[in-house]
Amino acid sequence: MGLVKSSNLGYPRIGEKREWKKLLESYWAGKVDEAIFHSEMKRLRLHFLEKQKRQGLDWIPVGDFSLYDHVLDTAFMFGLIPERFQLDVGDSILDTYFAIARGSQDAVASEMTKWFNTNYHYIVPELQGLSPQLKRNRPLDYYREAKNELGIQGKPVLLGPITFLKLSKGYDEDELDTWLDRLGPLYAQVLNELESEGVQWVQIDEPILVQPLDEKDFDRFYRVYDALNEATPKLNILLQTYFEAVEDYEKVVQLPVQGIGLDFVHDQGINLAAVSKQGFPKDKVLAAGVIDGRNIWRANLQEKLELIHTLTQVVALDRLVIQPSSSLLHVPVTVKNEEALEPLLKNALSYADEKLEEVVLLTETLNEGTSELKKRIQESVSAVTALNQSSARNNHEVQQEIDNLGEALPTRPAAYQERRVLQAKRFNLPLLPTTTIGSLPQTPEVRQARQKWRRREWSDEAYEQFVKDEIKRWVKIQEEIGLDVLVHGEFERNDMVEYFGEKLIGYTTAKHAWVQSYGSRCVKPPIVYGDVSLDQPMTVKESVYTQSLTDRPVKGMLTGPVTILNWSFVRDDIPRSAVQNQIALALRKEIEALEANGIAMIQVDEPALREGLPLKPEKWQDYLDKAVYAFRLATATVENETQIHTHMCYAEFQDILESISQLDADVISIEAARSHGELVNVFEEQVYDKEIGLGVYDIHSPRVPGQEEMAMIVDRALEVLAPEQFWINPDCGLKTRKEAEVIPALEAMVEAAKQLREKY
Ligand code: GLN
Ligand code: ZN
């Protein structure tokens, strides 16, 4: 081993061909028994470790593997099982574990939420009424397994106690210290046992250190890590942070641990500047996250060497570790199988396996610097440069259009209050108009039809005819139900982002770019690799066809620029906002084409607007301003009589309401049924003057809601909002629901609207 070490923080769980996902789902479906399940999982786990070993990594993480989620694993190893799951005594412990994540016959699942600013979702631990006990030393088990089976002396990975507690719920603010006092000794026990086993380094993840913390929190960090450090004099603790610069560099690097892990990719240069200016403690190891753990692009390794060079001005080589910026959980497994991609693009990609290769190459170059290694560094520069100089990234027409935009915020010709009058006249809708959010049930037949077409078993014509028939059938159903504003149903779309990714220039979808979203659920974000533009309409055909079947208005249906960007892998050679504006310009052309073809209402969905908010509050405004700009860039050129809708499926709203209002959409629909009236309270304090539909029923559940309960939700909303501005709609799209659930639910919704119209 050389002076500089190479390391990894976590490896993707899903497998090259999503074997992990398939195994989980087979187990849930009762197709494999528990014994086979465990042995197959072990095989996968060892395979992942072996791959990392073959790469020549010095520090290989163990215990990062999970059967569902690492936050749930942490709760589970401390026996933090919410009471409602403790009842099924007959069940195996594995089934209890899955029940917490997925719910069971008698108990609803624990909540799931976003893991920091990623698209990974973790299970929120519920601590109410529980007291922790060490049920199993999970990291130790995995350490032993790797050692016995593969001769790997792994680096056990644990989620740290403070981040764990901050992500949990079911305790009051003032109980945090009590909880820390309970968990602290258990963590100490885990570490003690690792120490006795001969473990050298353990990685403790405390990503909460990149978010705002107060004095008290830092005191907690000192208290907890002092205790852990004292309990394990021979064990080295690496305190790992990621996704942003740490909040208070000085305090973080002085913590009583032997190593600090910092992100030098997503820190906007702040971590790097802090290391250079303030130095780094001589007695600590710096684990430098220099390879992007969140994106799929190959790195320019020459630039990375320069970055590392800056670090070596203050950190001795034997105290330096080279690693990805975060766990590789957030990137796909390997580029190797992407045979269908253009070589220029494929050559500029790097998924988990390739990223580890980059890490090792950098490390070896620092340690040995042979000419062979230098040649390989040069290859990375050429690969990146070739893509940067390709025509895909140098579309002068697009760049010219962007340059010509000017500073001013794109603005509709008339102000909202004026548009409102014109639109009311044009559409002549009843009070409390009813509509849906866009997608209608994606039945197995719809999916099968798409598959047959994809596999070329069906011709384009056959598939298009199928979609048309489905649209026609549903126009009739919607009319019979009595909805006021119709949708085409999105039958032709697999996914609200991928669909556009496949149609826009500069975008592509890779076949194997899967990443875990939650549990066994994987997503394949499309890839923005070049300048984005539109060469032909994407949605006009379906919308125009639908409108031709009915006299009622049909909403055109698009995904907005912010959401498309947030749910894609995005090129990193230009600012994200520049890509966002290119997407917005392409959408503007689509919207203009819809309008020119007689579509008078156009919905531009932005469900990812809120979840894209940066981790650091001081960056929110800039993010929101750019989002508002892009949305308006896409939507502001339409006539006053054209009605722009938007949709967002979350209820936490109060802190961004002003920006949402600035989108200047004529109508917004948002989730409200699940948030139990919390959303409505917002409008008690803040004014919203445009039209708005608060979801009246939860589409996430198969339950068919009754007319009365929906009417009650509207009644409550109308205490704070005017009936003239109110729309009646479900919480979100209906694609995951069955036809037999959707029709009665919408019938009841329309009945509720009729009943309410009498009253207001
Ligand atoms: N129009 C989309 C649909 O109905 C919106 C989905 C979403 O908000 N996530 O499916
Ligand atoms: Zn939604």
pLDDT tens per residue, range 525-578 = 999 999 999 999 999 999 999 999 999 999 999 999 999 999 999 999 999 999
Task: Say if ligand 1 is within 6 A of residue 649 CB.
Answer: yes
- The CA distance from 18 to 30, in Å, is 19
Task: For the chain, count helices (H), then strands (E).
Answer: 27, 21
Tokens of 167: 């992500």
Task: Say if ligand 1 is within 6 A of residue 180 CB.
Answer: no
Task: Say if ligand 1 is within 6 A of residue 731 CB.
Answer: no
Write down the pLDDT at residue 400: 95
| 81 annotated ligand-binding residue | no
- The CA distance from 297 to 348, in Å, is 6
Predicted confidence band of residue 607 (pLDDT cuts 50, 70, 90): very high
Q: Which residue has the tokens 């949402």?
A: 660
Cα 124 to Cα 91, 166, 517: the distances in Å are: 22, 10, 15
pLDDT per position as a tens digit, 375-392: 999 999 999 999 999 999
Write down the pLDDT at residue 455: 96
Predicted confidence band of residue 750 (pLDDT cuts 50, 70, 90): very high
Atom of ligand 1 nearest to the CA of 648: 8
Write down the pLDDT at residue 635: 98
Contact at 8 Å (CB) between 69 and 122?
Answer: yes
Contact at 8 Å (CB) between 364 and 16?
Answer: no
H helix intervals, 239-370: 249-253, 270-278, 301-312, 343-346, 352-367
Task: Say if ligand 1 is within 6 A of residue 695 CB.
Answer: no
Task: Say if ligand 1 is within 6 A of residue 441 CB.
Answer: no
Q: Which residues contact 479 (CB under 8 A, 6 or more apart)?
A: 486, 550, 552
pLDDT per position as a tens digit, 17-71: 999 999 999 999 999 999 999 999 999 999 999 999 999 999 999 999 999 999 9
Task: Say if ligand 1 is within 6 A of residue 554 CB.
Answer: no
Write down the pLDDT at residue 446: 97
Distance between alpha carbon 5 and the CA centroid of its chain, in Å? 31
Write down the pLDDT at residue 32: 97
| 605 annotated ligand-binding residue | yes
Q: Which residue has the higher pLDDT, 673 or 639?
A: 639
Write down the pLDDT at residue 681: 85
- Look at residue 189 and tell me whether its pLDDT is greater than 60: yes
Write down the pLDDT at residue 369: 86
Contact at 8 Å (CB) between 288 and 264?
Answer: yes
Distance in angstroms between the alpha carbons of the first and the last residue of the chain: 77
- The CA distance from 738 to 730, in Å, is 15
Tokens of 620: 């929110």
- Catalytic residue status for 330: no
Q: What is the 3-state secondary structure (H, E, C) of 391-453?
A: HHHCCHHHHHHHHCCCCCCCCCCCCHHHHHHHHHHHHCCCCCCECCCCECCCCHHHHHHHHHH
Predicted confidence band of residue 157 (pLDDT cuts 50, 70, 90): very high
Average pLDDT over residues 304-322: 98
C-alpha torsion angle, residues 461, 467, 469, 470 (rounded to 10): 170
Cβ neighbourhood burial of 689 (10 Å; 0-12, 13-18, 19+) = exposed
Cβ-count burial 121-154 (b if 16+ within 10 Å, e if not): bbbbbbbeebebebeebbbbebbebbbeebebbb
Q: Whose CA is nearest to atom 1 of ligand 1?
A: 438
Predicted confidence band of residue 104 (pLDDT cuts 50, 70, 90): confident
Average pLDDT over residues 651-680: 87
| Amino acid identity at 666 | D
DSSP sequence for 405-421: T-SSPP--SS-HHHHHH
Task: Say if ligand 1 is within 6 A of residue 125 CB.
Answer: no
Task: Say if ligand 1 is within 6 A of residue 607 CB.
Answer: yes
* Sequence-distant contacts of 657-661: CB under 8 A, at least 24 apart: 657/682, 657/686, 657/688, 659/624, 659/625, 659/627, 659/628, 660/609, 661/688, 661/689, 661/690
- The CA distance from 628 to 650, in Å, is 18
C-alpha torsion angle, residues 615, 616, 618, 620 (rounded to 10): 0
- Look at residue 89 and tell me whether its pLDDT is greater than 60: no
Atom of ligand 1 nearest to the CA of 559: 1
| 438 annotated ligand-binding residue | yes
Task: Say if ligand 1 is within 6 A of residue 606 CB.
Answer: no
Contact at 8 Å (CB) between 325 and 264?
Answer: yes
Q: Rounded to the nearest whole angstrom, what is the distance from the C-alpha of residue 732 to the centroid of ligand 1?
A: 6
Q: Which residue has the tokens 């890590």?
A: 225
| 237 annotated ligand-binding residue | no
Q: Which residue has the tokens 């305190």?
A: 239
Mutate to test the pocket of ligand 1, among 488, 647, 649 (most ligand atoms within 8 A of CB): 647
Answering whether pTM is above 0.90, one says yes
Helix (H, G, I), strand (E, B) or coil at 604: strand
| 437 annotated ligand-binding residue | yes
Strand 521-523 and strand 515-518: the pairing is antiparallel
Neighbouring C-beta atoms of residue 630, cutoff 10 Å: 27
| 645 annotated ligand-binding residue | no
Task: Say if ligand 1 is within 6 A of residue 735 CB.
Answer: yes
Atom of ligand 1 nearest to the CA of 607: 8
Average pLDDT over residues 714-726: 95
pLDDT per position as a tens digit, 477-492: 999 999 999 999 999 9
Write down the pLDDT at residue 99: 93
Tokens of 513: 């770019």
Residues, Cβ < 5 Å to ion ligand 2: 607, 649, 732
H helix intervals, 207-351: 215-231, 249-253, 270-278, 301-312, 343-346
- The CA distance from 531 to 393, in Å, is 5
pLDDT per position as a tens digit, 39-54: 999 999 999 999 999 9
User: Dihedral of CA 181/138/77/168: which sign?
Assistant: positive
Write down the pLDDT at residue 685: 87
Write down the pLDDT at residue 406: 81
Q: Rounded to the nearest whole angstrom, what is the distance from the C-alpha of residue 386 to the centroid of ligand 2?
A: 39
Contact at 8 Å (CB) between 356 and 293?
Answer: no
DSSP state of 608: T
DSSP state of 7: B
- The CA distance from 539 to 544, in Å, is 9
Q: Whose CA is nearest to atom 3 of ligand 1?
A: 733
Question: Partners of 645 in the beta sheet?
Answer: 603, 667
Q: Rounded to the nearest whole angstrom, what is the distance from the C-alpha of residue 439 to the centroid of ligand 2?
A: 10
| 141 annotated ligand-binding residue | no
Atom of ligand 1 nearest to the CA of 733: 4
- Look at residue 682 and tell me whether its pLDDT is greater than 90: no
Mutate to test the pocket of ligand 1, among 435, 485, 490 (most ligand atoms within 8 A of CB): 490
- Look at residue 91 and tell me whether its pLDDT is greater than 80: no
pLDDT per position as a tens digit, 396-452: 999 999 999 988 999 999 999 999 999 999 999 999 999 999 999 999 999 999 999
Helix (H, G, I), strand (E, B) or coil at 314: coil
Strand 112-114 and strand 61-62: the pairing is unpaired
Q: Rounded to the nearest whole angstrom, what is the distance from the C-alpha of residue 153 to the centroid of ligand 2?
A: 46
C-alpha torsion angle, residues 265, 269, 275, 277 (rounded to 10): 170
Task: Say if ligand 1 is within 6 A of residue 605 CB.
Answer: yes
Helix (H, G, I), strand (E, B) or coil at 369: coil
| Amino acid identity at 258 | Q
pLDDT per position as a tens digit, 159-183: 999 999 999 999 999 999 999 999 9
- Look at residue 222 and tell me whether its pLDDT is greater than 80: yes
The closest ligand to the CA of 439 turns out to be 1
DSSP sequence for 99-155: HHHH--SSSPPPPEEE-TTSS-EEEPPB-TT--------HHHHHHHHHHHHH----E
Q: Whose CA is nearest to atom 4 of ligand 1?
A: 733
Strand 112-114 and strand 121-123: the pairing is antiparallel
- Look at residue 676 and tell me whether its pLDDT is greater than 70: no
Neighbouring C-beta atoms of residue 278, cutoff 10 Å: 11
Average pLDDT, the chain: 96
Q: Rounded to the nearest whole angstrom, what is the distance from the C-alpha of residue 368 to the centroid of ligand 2?
A: 53
Contact at 8 Å (CB) between 559 and 496?
Answer: yes
Mutate to test the pocket of ligand 1, among 490, 564, 605 (most ligand atoms within 8 A of CB): 605
Percent of the chain past pLDDT 90, that is, above it, reads: 93
Contact at 8 Å (CB) between 71 and 164?
Answer: yes
Average pLDDT over residues 198-217: 97
